């Protein structure tokens, strides 16, 4: 099995998809991450165009690969030493066929147009898979929150929102958090938006604090959702988390709650990481320590071994995939598992991969997993729980009421099961039974394509 599926399909469908990719690639030749995401999705859609050639005439691919709007802006702010700093802000409004643009904001020095466009493009299909009424978008800045004081974070986020507010709103575009943007940053941005707008538009941002319009379970949603998705994959082979050895990369929002849910289901989580290195605790990761170090004290994961001397710390985050495990949950960042890492995981007997992060596996790594019969839950399906609960937060804001943790968690669980079942069904229907990469891409695409056709050429 493979995601390189172009060989066995009709010339017309293949040629169409390849021609669109060539145009996208020429137009965006300096954007490797964006092209990687486009290539993965386009190739897997060939069977759809073969079965429904009328979609070619509607120019769906030509339109879906070009953002409706890309905004880039200057973000000036003053640091604690009184020095003027300038960062660049972005918002990519990719596709609004299904609803208001929806997708997180990332603050990280690596952020550029390519990263934001890859994330925005993926978001279209992910949001569609959730079954919720949300379009696809993404934004962020090359600002590095690491090492900044609270006051610097506030000044930066206020400056960022002073420009961003022109383009967003509860019915147009609803940003959320991502890498480097957590509850603190969302709070400061919401405060600034409210101040500028002179009204309480709670639904303009999601991931808000519980006391001012946030949803219970939003913080946990991506990590829990990823584990719920993997649970379904495992169950299809008579396997489960109970007693399984699990490795989770990262120690941020997604990782922490993936670890929490995996442990609740009886898994033995032995390793996690940050961008400097990874820890291995064969007795099982003590999540309370990780939460305190990362969520409260904002320290490095290396500090863990000072409190738990039986654990070991290894410098360099990439080595984490050499730790043998039954289930691997990459929850840190894009392209963190390459072909070599994938081969190591296969050698050590990994049975399932659940992508908590966005595009954590390279295309070559995915091939290795699929060719070796590893259960593979692709990001846009496996990590859709976060945006699904963001959409539930929007619903609660519109209704001006709040659901309990249990209510939201139950809805999240149901949504993840649906995403799994719809991806399995689409893969089977188009001749790729068991291939959830193809299944998720097709299931996500079809809903958006139907809406785009209904709405005419816009
Ligand atoms: P956080 O900022 O909370 O955490 C990111 C974690 O990954 C941190 O532990 C960070 O380490 C680590 N990390 C960052 N870069 C690297 C790197 N190059 N190598 C190894 N580790 C690294 O972000 P989130 O948990 O929110 O996001 C993680 C991933 O999940 C991203 O791909 C994001 O797009 C995706 N995602 C997030 C959703 C959400 O709801 N938050 C929803 C769907 C997807 P350090 O502490 O050193 O910075």
- The C-alpha atoms of residue 355 and residue 317 are separated, in whole angstroms, by 17
Give the residue-averaged pLDDT of 34-45: 95
Q: Is residue 417 part of a domain?
A: no
Tell me, using a 6 A CB cutoff, whether residue 123 lines ligand 1: no
Average pLDDT rounded to a whole number, residues 196-207: 97
Residue 139 contacts residue 176 (beta carbons within 8 Å):
no
Among 349, 382, 415, the domain-final residue is 382
Q: Which residue has the tokens 């600034």?
A: 192
Burial class (CB in 10 A: 0-12, 13-18, 19+), 308: middle
Atom nearest to 358 CA in ligand 1: 32
Residue having the nearest C-alpha atom to atom 19 of ligand 1: 275
Q: Based on the domain organization, do 48 and 82 belong to the same domain?
A: no
CA of 401 to the centre of ligand 1 (A): 30
The response to whether residue 335 sits with its C-beta less than 6 Å from ligand 1 reads no
In a shared domain, residues 170 and 73: yes
- Give the residue from 65, 87, 108 where a domain finishes: 65
What does the block give as tokens for 416? 């993840």
* Residues 294 and 253 grouped into a single domain: yes
| Ligand 1, atom 2: closest residue by C-alpha | 179
Q: Average pLDDT of 26-45? A: 96
Cβ of 252 closer than 6 Å to ligand 1, yes or no, is: yes
The whole-number average pLDDT for the span 168-183 is 97
Whether 248 and 331 share a structural domain: yes
Task: Check whether residue 58 and residue 76 sit in a common domain.
Answer: no
Name the closest-CA residue to atom 10, ligand 1: 274
Count of domains for the chain: 3
CA distance linking residue 130 with residue 388, whole number of Å: 6
234 lies in the same domain as 378? yes
> Could you tell me if residue 355 is inside a domain?
yes
Nearest protein CA to atom 11 of ligand 1, as residue: 274
CATH number for the domain spanning 187: value is 3.40.50.10860
Site to probe by mutation for ligand 1, drawn from 332, 358, 359, 391 as the one with most ligand atoms within 8 Å of Cβ, is 332
Please identify, by atom number, the ligand 1 atom nearest to the C-alpha of residue 379: 44
User: What distance in angstroms lies between residue 407's CA and the mean position of ligand 1's atoms?
Assistant: 27
Q: Which of the residues 138, 261, 294, 446 is marked catalytic?
A: 138
- Ligand 1 pocket, residue 355 CB under 6 Å: no
Q: Is residue 443 part of a domain?
A: no
**End position of a domain, from candidates 382, 398, 421:** 382
Structural domain containing residue 136: 69-200
Question: Do both 180 and 283 map to the same domain?
Answer: no
pLDDT at 4 over 70: no
Q: What is the pLDDT of residue 3?
A: 53
Ligand 1 centroid, distance to 340 Cα (angstroms): 22
In a domain, 456, yes or no: no
CA 426 to chain centre: 21
SS (H, E, C) 230-245: HHHHHHCCCCCCCCCE
**pLDDT tens for residues 305-357?**
999 999 999 999 999 999 999 999 999 999 999 999 999 999 999 999 999 99
The protein residue whose alpha carbon is closest to atom 23 in ligand 1 is 179
Contacting residues for 11 by C-beta, under 8 A, at least 6 apart: none
User: If you measure from the C-alpha of residue 110 to the centroid of ligand 1, how many angstroms do you get, rounded to a whole number?
Assistant: 12
Mean pLDDT of the chain: 96
Do the domain assignments include residue 303? yes
How far apart are the C-alpha atoms of 96 and 353, rounded to whole Å? 31
Using the predicted structure, report yes or no on whether residue 259 has a pLDDT greater than 80. Answer: yes
Give 314-383 as a 3 state SS string. Answer: EECHHHHHHCCCCEEECCCCCCCECHHHHHHHHHCCCCEEECCCCCCECHHHHHHHHHCCCEEECHHHHC
- For residues 40 and 147, state if they share a domain: no
If one residue of 250, 251, 313 were mutated to test the ligand 1 pocket, choosing by the most ligand atoms within 8 A of its CB, it would be 250
- For ligand 1, whether the C-beta of 361 sits within 6 Å is no
Residue 377 Cα to ligand 1 middle (Å): 18
How would DSSP label each residue in 34-86? HHHHHHHHHHHTHHHHHH-THHHHTTHHHHHTS-SEEEEEEEEEE-TTS-EEE
Q: Measured in whole angstroms, how far is the alpha carbon of residue 208 from the centre of its chain?
A: 18
CA angle at 170 for the pair 254 and 160, rounded to the nearest 5° = 65
Distance between Cα 123 and ligand 1 center (Å):
16
367 lies in the same domain as 237 = yes
Instruction: Provide the CATH number for the domain around residue 231.
Output: 3.40.50.720
pLDDT digit string, tens, across residues 145-174:
999 999 999 999 999 999 999 999 999 999
Residues near 211 by Cβ (< 8 Å), separated by ≥ 6? none
245 & 350 share domain = yes
Is position 299 annotated as part of the catalytic site? no
Q: How far is the CA of 49 from the centre of ligand 1 (A)?
A: 35
Residue 323 CB less than 6 A away from ligand 1: no
Query: What is the distance in A from the centroid of ligand 1 to the CA of 253?
Result: 7
- Provide the pLDDT confidence category of residue 458 given band limits of 50, 70 and 90: very high
Cβ–Cβ < 8 Å for 391, 102: yes
317 lines ligand 1 (CB under 6 A): yes
**Lookup: tokens for 279:** 């820890």
In the chain, pLDDT over 70 holds for what percent of residues? 98
Residue with tokens 């988390």: 241
Q: Residue 414 domain-assigned?
A: no
- 307 plus 324 within the same structural domain: yes
* Per-residue pLDDT at 1: 45
pLDDT tens track for 97-126: 999 999 999 999 999 999 999 999 999 999
Q: Look up the pTM and report it.
A: 0.95
pLDDT band at 9 (very low <50, low <70, confident <90, very high): confident
5: pLDDT strictly greater than 70? no
Q: Determine, yes or no, domain membership for 439.
A: no
The residue whose CA has the least distance to atom 30 of ligand 1 is: 357
Q: Are residue 141 and residue 226 in the same domain, yes or no?
A: no
Asked if residue 406 has pLDDT above 60, the reply is yes
**What is the atom index within ligand 1 of the atom nearest the CA of 177?**
41
Q: Taking the C-alpha atoms of 35, 36, 37 and 41 in order, what is their torsion angle to the nearest 10 degrees?
A: 100
> Rounded to an integer, what distance in angstroms lies between the CA atom of residue 5 and that of residue 46?
8
- Determine the pLDDT at residue 10: 73
**Distance set, CA 341 to CA 319, 330, 336, 347, 435 (Å):** 8, 11, 9, 10, 21
Which two three-digit tokens encode residue 283? 């007795």
Atom 42 of ligand 1, residue of closest alpha carbon: 386
Residue 171 is assigned to a structural domain of this protein: yes
Give the least confident one: 51-60, 167-176, 183-192, 416-425: 51-60
Q: Which atom of ligand 1 is least distant from the CA of 254?
A: 25
């Amino acid at each position: 099995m493979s995601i390189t599926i172009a060989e066995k399909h009709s010339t017309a469908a293949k040629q169409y998809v390849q021609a669109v990719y060539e145009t996208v690639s020429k137009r965006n030749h300096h954007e490797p991450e964006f092209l990687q995401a486009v290539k993965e999705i386009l190739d897997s859609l060939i069977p759809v165009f073969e079965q429904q050639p009328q979609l070619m005439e509607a120019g769906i691919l030509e339109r879906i690969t070009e953002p409706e709007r890309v905004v880039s802006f200057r973000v000036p702010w003053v640091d604690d030493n009184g020095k003027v700093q300038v960062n660049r802000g972005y918002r990519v409004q990719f596709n609004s066929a299904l609803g208001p643009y929806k997708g997180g904001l990332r603050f990280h020095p690596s952020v550029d147009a390519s990263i934001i466009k890859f994330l925005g493009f993926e978001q279209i299909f992910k949001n569609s898979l959730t079954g919720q009424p949300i379009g696809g978008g993404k934004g962020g800045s090359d600002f590095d929150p690491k090492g900044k004081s609270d006051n610097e974070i506030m000044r930066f986020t206020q400056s960022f929102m002073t420009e961003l507010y022109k383009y967003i709103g509860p019915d147009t575009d609803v940003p959320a958090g991502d890498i480097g943007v957590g509850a603190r940053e969302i709070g400061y941005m919401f405060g600034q938006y409210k101040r500028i707008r002179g009204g309480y538009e709670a639904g303009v941002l999601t991931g808000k604090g519980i006391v001012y319009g946030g949803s219970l379970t939003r913080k946990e949603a991506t990590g829990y959702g990823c584990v719920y998705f993997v649970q379904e994959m495992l169950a299809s082979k008579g396997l489960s988390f109970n007693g399984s050895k699990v490795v989770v990369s990262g120690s941020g929002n997604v990782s922490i709650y993936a670890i929490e849910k995996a442990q609740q289901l009886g898994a033995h989580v032995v390793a996690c990481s940050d961008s400097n290195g990874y820890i291995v605790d064969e007795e099982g990761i003590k999540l309370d320590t990780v939460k305190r170090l990362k969520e409260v004290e904002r320290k490095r994961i290396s500090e863990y071994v000072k409190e738990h001397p039986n654990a070991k710390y290894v410098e360099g985050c990439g080595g984490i995939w050499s730790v043998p495990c039954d289930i691997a949950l990459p929850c840190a960042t894009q392209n963190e598992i390459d072909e070599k890492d994938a081969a190591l995981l296969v050698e050590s007997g990994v049975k399932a991969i659940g992508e908590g992060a966005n595009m954590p596996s390279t295309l070559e790594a995915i091939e290795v997993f699929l060719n070796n019969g590893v259960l593979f839950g692709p990001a846009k399906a496996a990590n859709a729980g976060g945006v699904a609960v963001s959409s539930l937060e929007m619903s609660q804001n519109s209704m001006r009421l709040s659901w309990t943790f249990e209510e939201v968690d139950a809805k999240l669980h149901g949504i993840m099961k649906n995403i799994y079942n719809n991806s399995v069904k689409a893969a089977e229907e188009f001749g790729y039974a068991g291939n959830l990469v193809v299944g998720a891409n097709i299931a996500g695409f079809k809903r958006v394509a139907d809406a785009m056709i209904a709405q005419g050429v816009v």
